[in-house]
Structure 1
């Protein structure tokens, strides 16, 4: 993943030192002790899923940057993580020749509400971000436990209330996944996983 980041940056800057600075900063953020789920493994998982639909992506470099930076700013006590992540991306990438900055910022911002978009790349990113919901029950349970750890500052009664709202919002969507591939691959299992967690809260 690190080498892939450097190869991506090389397309837009000859400053190898700056590329290393960008990666070091990203790695530090995603490796914070408080990140039990929104970490480098989450990114690696998204990249593995991306490999299956890469041919459908219109702007691959924008997608790659969006994945790297979409959770660069993450705190369970704030509600503007996506916006701040987009701004952080803009700050770091503005020193390169990459031009589709607004496109990437829009992709990152879209991960807040996870609404169906007219832009297929946006829908693909949203599906990559939620692909874990459709994993086998044991893997989903690992994910759910990791999310709980990230919200460790909240007592159980507060966490359960907030988590139930999140789960219900996802279950009330017309579809959890936006693209045909992810719907076919994950939708049925994701619904079962979400309902099982909701029942056990």
Structure 2
């Protein structure tokens, strides 16, 4: 199922206004196709859904998490520290146009905000969203290297002197995230689990050289 059709199907649960839904989709498509989005684009959303589909039966509210995926990066400015807050607010305003239940809107709002820090959540579905968002860290080395190149392009305005320390700080959240990933997205078949744990170990090896040991919370 392509992204547009997926969005349409979930919106039609709440509104039959196809013109409205079409306009909402076009906005999502336009925002994720902006110049400078080398990684945080429609391909990223597609990959997140591939991860989530594999564990769909374990997610309590798939509609909410679907809207969270579509809107979690709707506002993306590499120079801003408030992308998640703005994205969450943007999502609320659009979902209200569809007359979606406030409980679902609140869940989407909170899930999007959670992507700011990627801390393990007490909310069941939020952990699935966070794992899918960072699942690139568990991919094969070649895919991971491609990801790092795309991210570097998105932050090309920073010289290496400033960029590298920032990426080291970001990588530190990997230690908390790894435990969460193993109990959600990796709860698939044994072959996939073993493959991804191997890939994770490669990333872990690299991170050990990026971050000073006393700066890392080594929860496993």
| Category of TM-score, reference length = shorter chain | over 0.9
The 8 Å contact of residues 66 and 108 in structure 1, kept in 2 or not, is answered as yes
**How many residues in Structure 1 have an aligned counterpart in Structure 2?**
200
Residue 199 of structure 1, CA deviation:
4.3
The structure-2 alpha-carbon separation of the partners of 1:153 and 1:176, relative to structure 1 and needing over 3 Å to count, comes to: farther
**Whole-Å separation in 2 of the counterparts to 1:174 and 1:85:** 22
Determine helix, strand or coil for the equivalent of 1:83: helix
Task: Please name the residue that 1:37 is paired with.
Answer: 39
Name the structure 1 match of 2:156.
152
Residue 166 (structure 1) aligned with residue 176 (structure 2): no
Distance 1:151 1:158 in 2: 10
SS in 2 for 1:42: helix
Following superposition, the deviation at residue 168 of structure 1 comes to 2.5
User: Secondary structure at the residue paired with 1:177?
Assistant: helix
Q: Which runs of 5+ in 1 are unaligned?
A: none
State the match for 2:58 in structure 1: 56
Distance in 1 of aligned mates of 2:208 and 2:76: 24
TM-score (norm 2): 0.85
* 1:183-194 alignment, distance < 5 Å: 183=186, 185=193, 186-193=196-203
In structure 2, C-alpha distance between the alignment counterparts of 1:179 and 1:112, rounded to whole Å = 20
TM-score, with structure 1 as normaliser: 0.92
Give the one of 66, 72, 78 matched to 1:76.
78
Match of 2:114 among 110, 134, 145: 110
Name the residue aligned to 2:218. Answer: none
- Structure 2: gaps of 5 or more residues: 188-192, 212-220
Note if contact 1:86-1:108 (Cα within 8 Å) is conserved in structure 2. yes
Q: What's the RMSD between the two structures over aligned residues?
A: 1.9
